[in-house]
Each structure stands twice: as C-alpha cells, then as structure tokens.
Structure 1
C-alpha cells in the first residue's frame, strides 16, 4: 500500500489518477483518443514495429538470450510417433527474458529511494510472486495517436553513441512534421541506433544516443502516454555524471509513463508518416516487470 508519510519532491503524477492507481499515464488514453487516432487511418497499411525474436537477438550480458525448444516436430513422426487418422502437429517452448528485443517496461521495472510510481513501496516487488503492484498485467492496451520524431532526418545522419537528444531537438522535429503533442500520444524516437547494430556480433549496450532528463521531463509534462525509441534504453548512454538512469526514474517512477525499447522504426520512416494509429498490448503476465510485444503503426 501507499504511505502518505513519504513525499516525492520532484515533479510527478503521483495521486493524479487516485492513490490506488496502477495504470499511470495510460489513463490518458480514453475513447476520444482512440477515435481521434482511428481517424488517421488513410491507406490501411499496417507496419510492424517489432524486431524478430530468436536465439540471435542481442541482449546485454546480464540477461540470458532466447532459448527455443521443439517439443514435437516432424522428426518424431519419422521415428515412429503415432499419428491417429493421419493427424500430425508440432509445438514448441520459448524461454527468454521479458526485456528482450522490442519490449515495454512496466511501471514496476524501475524505482529509486525505495519508492515506485504513485508512492508504492519497493516491498510490493517480491522474488516469490513478482510485482504485487504496477505489474505489466495492470497495463491496459495502448490504442492512440502515434507520433514519430525522426532525429535521423533532423540531423541528416544516424546519431552517434552517447549523443544527446535534447528538448529543443524534439521541438524541432515537431516543427518539421507540423505537429503538436497532445495528451495520450505515443511518442516514438528514431535515432538510427538499432539499424546501426545490424550484422554486429557483439552489440555495445553501454553507449547509445537518446534523450536526456530534461527532454524526458518535457515529454512527461506534455501528457504523453508512452515513450518509445529504436534503442536499448530510450535515454542517452552513458548517463550524465552523478546520475543513474535519470530518464527511467523521471518518466516511469515519477510520471507513470511506460517505455517502449528496441523499436524497429526503419519501415515506418520509409513510409513517410509522422502521425498514425498506434496499437500495442503487452502480454498480461501477472507480476511481470515488462513484456515483449509487437507494436503496430496503422497508416
């Protein structure tokens, strides 16, 4: 339960949707946002924004990679497995971290000072049961307007590792696209980082372009519902000296905004659309800190 004796002195959205809220900024997506976004569909083209998942999908060293096991396949029948009525089937099992490839961070994924979003205590995260509060199963689907901010187009090149995306960069992208952010938007940032990793056998997860704390705070204060990027952590790595994941702390812990990481944005960039119907729904794994998913841009 929350504890009113603790006060978060940083700008935040604690209590905005009630002391028992666990959905955070996704509360900003209601029927009006869904209808507004649906009206953006013009051609009916559906663009998948997820990376393919396999045992070759890169992960940082502290996470295990994806393991794919066949429980039954054609070899079983070749070896004499029964096939009543001629019926045959295959099935398999996947073991993987939930923060792999294209995935979403639940609101229980990151916190500081022993407090999570909306003043939930860190004790609500248990090794035996997972997150009893703010788990990914508490995260409603996002069906809203997607806004692509193309930093590569703004710079005229892929961003370099460690390159900061500032608030002014985000505002400049909006000016170029002739758009303004509206409450409930899903903002997707194209840095070119993921495309630059293609073909690499050893991906460096300690250095990437991304937004800084000021840019993250500004996005939060525009009432966006989701922030995503085509990189590992959305925020710039390495961090500013003296800080540790400042954007995660700001947007997840303070404002209840989930982060979408590892987006495949090149197809969307090629389509040339900066606003579109955006759809994403996490796997409702009870008590989980995140989930792989397949976000869609419907043009």
Structure 2
C-alpha cells in the first residue's frame, strides 16, 4: 500500500493539525500499520543474514515506577490444592509496550480543555471500557511484523566522539540531521512499511544510576531525551513511509 497523501496535503486537512483520520477508510483502526503489506514483511525476511534472535522486550522489573500514578507490577501466588496459579497485576506503561490510538489526545482542539482522541473520539468514549474501538487488540489481530531499521544514535555519537546526549532532561533533542547521519553511517534506507527503531542509550544510562540518583531524577521530572518535534522531522517520518516507531526510552 502506498502513502495515501503527501505531507503538504496532510497539513491542509480539516480537524486537528496533521491528523491522518480516515485516510485508510472510515472504519480503519490500523493507521500507518496499513503500510505493512506482505511485500514489506517479506522484505524483512529477505534482510536476514545471521538468524540471530534478539528480544526487544524489557523485563517488568527492569525499572522502578517512574511515576506515582503508574504502580509497579504486583505478583501473587495462589495455591489450589494440587496446583499453583500466578496472579499478575500491572500497569501497561510499566515496561515495554505499544501505545494505542486512545493513549494520547488533542487537548486544545476544538476547544480548550476538551480532550479529543483519534478519529474524533470523545474523552467519555475513550474511557468507556465497553468501547473497543481503536484498542490495542488490533495489534494482536494484525501482528506488527515487518523489516526493522535500527538507528543506533548512541553508537553513532560514540563512534564519532560527538558530545553525549543529556538523557534526563530535554536540553539535547535528537535532530533530524543526527537521525539522517546515523542512517547514512549505517548504510540503511527506509521503505514504506518499515519499523524505525531508535537507540538513544537511555536504558543503559538509567540502569547505571544508583538508587539515590534514580529517586532524585524521578522527583525532578525534567523529561527525558527524545526526537526533536519540528516539522521537518514529521515530514521525514511521513514521507519515509515508516509504519511504526520504537525506542529504548
């Protein structure tokens, strides 16, 4: 499937800025995942050279809770005469996860203090547990499997002895120039349906902190390193045909 419109056409759409609602049909719940076609999946298979398996999921206990509203994993063991059951309760933001279309809202459209979610869904509709529209179950029904393109930004910075990123505040955003330089250094290019995986080095930096340093960092809440949000980054993402993005933050 081709990209449904240019970035300039996307900018001219009605509704909140740069929304892609309905571009793949009025009943669509996959968004850019529609770009993952059989050809893009086979492209991932054809890219395999060594057959090495790499687990991209972090353990549920890799990190302490980074926010009081997101409790850590809780595990109970229940003995039932002849068997033992595990009972696990966790916040889906505790560790590795995919964000769904209902995770984040447009706060200032169309009215201030009114939250509008993907496709024009209201806050009440998004909070309704009986409403499954735009839920993450779509990722189970349509597995996210395609060619992954790794942009190892931390590795690029280290190889070229550039100033290190500041991981625990927003003072050094990762620019488009840095993303492109990393891709060029690695000799990789994107095609529609690819998954972009960005390694910033945040995980290693966080795990290297002492308990006291982690507590101080989470109290400051100054943010963390991330991709610059200027329009050229958004244009590059859209026109490259990237279907999904993952990172180590």
- The answer for the alignment partner of 2:126 in structure 1 is 125
**RMSD in angstroms over aligned alpha carbons?**
2.3
Distance 2:61 2:47 in 1: 33
Which structure has more relative contact order (CA 8 Å, sep 6+)? It is: 1
- Paired with 2:96 and 2:157, the residues of 1 have a C-alpha distance of 24
Quick check: 1:11 aligned with 2:29? no
Identify unmatched segments of 5+ residues in structure 2.
Answer: 1-12, 110-114
Distance 1:206 1:63, change over 3 A: farther
Q: Could you tell me the TM-score, scaled by structure 1's length?
A: 0.65
Secondary structure in 2 matching 1:94: strand
Deviation of the 1:57 alpha carbon: 4.1
Residue 140 (structure 2) pairs with residue 134 (structure 1): no
Whether 1:227 aligns to 2:245 is yes
Unmatched tracts of structure 1, length 5 or more = 1-5, 84-88, 232-299
CA distance, structure 1, for counterparts of residue 164 and residue 58 of structure 2: 19
**Which residue of structure 1 lines up, in the alignment, with residue 10 of structure 2?**
none
Counterpart for residue 248 of structure 1:
none
**Which 4+ residue blocks in structure 1 deviate beyond 6 angstroms?**
none
* Residue-pair matches, total: 212
8 Å contact from structure 1 (residues 182, 224) kept in 2 = yes
1:63 is aligned to 70
Give the deviation of 1:55 after TM superposition. Answer: 8.5
Aligned to 2:102: 108
Counterpart secondary structure, 1:105 = coil
- Structure 1 residue 190, shift from structure 2 partner: 0.9
Q: Contact 2:117/2:126 (CA < 8 Å) preserved in 1?
A: no
3-state DSSP of counterpart to 2:94: coil
CA distance in 1, matches of 2:34, 2:88: 32
Report what 1:39 is aligned to.
46
Change (3 A) 1:10 1:62: same
| Equivalent position to 1:93, from 87, 96, 111 | 87
- Aligned residue runs from structure 1 range 235-274, under 5 A: none
Q: How does 1:166-181 map to 2 (within 5 A)?
A: 166-181=175-190
Q: TM-score, normalised by structure 2?
A: 0.77
Give the aligned partner of residue 209 of structure 1. Answer: 225
Residue of 145, 152, 155 corresponding to 2:154: 152
Note if contact 1:71-1:93 (Cα within 8 Å) is conserved in structure 2: yes
Q: Deviations over 1:143-166 (max 9, x none)?
A: 101011111122227521322011
Q: Retained in 2: the 8 A contact 1:34–1:144?
A: yes
Compare the two structures and name the one with the higher strand fraction: 1
Q: How many Å apart are 1:174 and its aligned residue?
A: 1.2
User: Any conservation in 2 of the 1:146–1:187 contact (CA below 8 Å)?
Assistant: yes
DSSP-derived class of the 1:138 partner: helix
